[in-house]
Structure 1
């Protein structure tokens, strides 16, 4: 039983979490999607970088 599980793992999930190179692209993929762009967008929305208004940036 454990042998079969090991064979299925390297089929797809294994190389994804084992290969460090794959981890980089996996994290980059979402960064390209609107999901990753959403967090930074919200950050700018509720936290506008105003050097003239340090109080607004702190909020």
Structure 2
């Protein structure tokens, strides 16, 4: 499955991971019909929500 690149004004982050981990992550993302970037975003959102619900972090809205 090929994903189109859409320009975004969202902030970018860069990470270094092994080729093996990237390849495996791409397979998981594709199995969920997501781009790798979107899949990673979902993982981060879930981790932040979990940390908030566990009281590890708190943000004033």
TM-score past 0.5 threshold: no
Greater RCO (Cα-Cα under 8 Å, separation 6 or more): 2
Classify the TM-score, shorter chain. Answer: 0.3 to 0.5
Relative to the length of structure 2, the TM-score reads: 0.32
Relative to the length of structure 1, the TM-score reads: 0.32
